[in-house]
Amino acid sequence: MGRGHLAPGGLAPEDILRLEDDRVVFLDQRLLPEHEVELACHSAAEVAEAIRTLAVRGAPSIGIAAAYGYALAAAQGEDLAAAAEVLAASRPTAVNLTWALEQLREGGDDLAGRARALHREEVDRCVRMAEHALSLFEPGARALTHCNAGGLATGGYGSAVGALRRAWEQELVRHVWVGETRPLLQGSRLTAWELERIGIPHAVIADSAAASLMARGEVDCVVTGADRIAANGDTANKIGTYSLAVNARHHGIPLYVVAPSSTVDLHTPSGEAIPIEERAGAELTERFPALNPAFDVTPAELIAAIVTEQGVHREPYAESLAGARRGERARTA
């Protein structure tokens, strides 16, 4: 660990990922919560490998990592077109990856400065989303979240977890159910670790326990992040989110998606067109044939609200989400 053991509380953005003169440094998320170890990457290809192997993960963090990888490539004198290509190919579903590369390619010469600014802006979006999301919680709510949409996934603060944190500070949320998130356990390894560090009461549940908890009246809302939100509001997120959405609708429980506008993809009209990453079957079983889609799509009609830094968006989503991408405030609140 380059900077010593991490202090309790929310994670500092530079402890999650940062650009140094000749390297990009990540807190290696594959080793958490047991080990707090940093991974240093010295080329765009190494950053792409860190993204592909989930050393850094979560849609906004993937975008920030790609921006840092591109800026590093420029500093090292690498071929920038090749660097962009290898970074863009590292994971297919989170649109933040291509969004961040576009941001860097379209701007001026100070790539390192712009990549660091993009990181700061993404964290700032999370803080603003959390403030908007307060209006969604009844005092004392018990929320269920899936995967990890915390500081680790967003370069700091968190999208879904940031909203839960702010609501907990205001005594609007009193308990968080954490879906373990098979097969790579982002919930039980990463979200539980983050909640413990902040001090938010929580309990890990098997993914398959969610419906029965809902039936017993122990879940007041479901709050998740997103990897790509299509123009119509259909949302790709970690596999299992769709199942939660169907179960939540059956039990009359709202499902909220909290994600920055960098996750909204206006070029993808609906969920059908979102590329879904398929990962190695060995993540599920070493012995038998396996199918391992990493994400699923929740149709917009099952989402009670989408929160971006521009406010709370309600159905029909198309106009409101397009406005968010243009930097316009959401009309509903």
Show which residues are catalytic.
227
Measured distance CA(8)–CA(85) in Å, rounded? 38
State the DSSP code for 268: S
Q: Which is nearer to ligand MRU, 126 or 214 (CB)?
A: 126
Per the DSSP assignment, residues forming a β-bridge with 170 are none
Tell me which residue has its CB nearest to ligand MRU.
Answer: 225
The CB-of-225 to ligand MRU minimum distance in angstroms stands at: 3
Q: Which of residues 216-235 bind ligand MRU (CB under 6 A)?
A: 224-227
Backbone angles phi, psi at 38, to 5 degrees: -95, 150
Q: Which helix (H) or strand (E) holds 165?
A: helix 160-169
Neighbouring CB atoms inside 10 A of 279's CB total: 18
Least distance from ligand MRU to the Cβ atom of residue 186, Å: 5
57 binds ligand MRU (CB under 6 A): yes
User: Which positions from 61 through 100 interact with ligand MRU, judged by CB under 6 A?
Assistant: 94
| Count of residues interacting with ligand MRU (CB under 6 A) | 18
Relative orientation angle of helices 96-106 and 111-133, to the nearest 10 degrees: 130
By beta-carbon proximity to ligand MRU, the closer residue of 43 and 159 is 159
159 in contact with ligand MRU (CB under 6 A): yes
From 57-65, 66-74, 104-112, 309-317, give the range in contact with ligand MRU by CB under 6 A.
57-65
Which is closer to ligand MRU, CB of 112 or CB of 294? 294
Cis upstream peptide for 293 (omega within 30°): no
CB of 57 to ligand MRU, least distance (A): 3
Q: Which is nearer to ligand MRU, 39 or 112 (CB)?
A: 39
Candidates 44, 59, 87, 112: give the one binding ligand MRU (CB under 6 A). 59
The window from 11-19, 56-64, 191-199, 203-211 that contacts ligand MRU (CB under 6 A) reads: 56-64
Taking CB under 6 A as the rule, does residue 238 contact ligand MRU?
Answer: yes
Please list every residue from 245 through 304 that binds ligand MRU, using CB under 6 A: 294
Pairing of strands 141-145, 221-224: parallel
Beta strands in the chain (DSSP E): 17-19, 24-27, 38-41, 141-145, 173-179, 202-205, 221-224, 228-230, 235-238, 255-258, 264-265, 295-298, 305-308, 311-313
If we measure between CA atoms, which residue out of 182, 181, 161, 163 comes closest to residue 172? 163
Residue type, 244: L
The DSSP element (H or E) to which 153 belongs, if any, is helix 151-154
Q: Count Cβ atoms below 10 Å from residue 35 Cβ, excluding itself.
A: 9
Under the binding rule (CB under 6 A), the answer on residue 323 touching ligand MRU is no
CB 306 within 8 A of CB 235: yes
DSSP β-bridge partners for residue 295: 238
Closest approach of ligand MRU to the CB of residue 200, in Å: 17
Q: Which stretch binds ligand MRU (CB under 6 A): 106-114, 149-157, 167-175, 312-320?
A: 149-157
Q: Least distance in Å: CB of 227 to ligand MRU?
A: 5
Site string (93-132) toward ligand MRU, x via CB under 6 A: -x--------------------------------------
User: Would you call 259 helix, strand, or coil by DSSP?
Assistant: coil
Contact status: 145 vs ligand MRU (CB under 6 A): no
Tell me if 117 sits within 8 A of 292, measured CB to CB. Answer: no
Instruction: Give residues in contact with ligand MRU (CB under 6 A).
Output: 57-60, 94, 147, 149, 153-154, 159, 186, 224-227, 237-238, 294
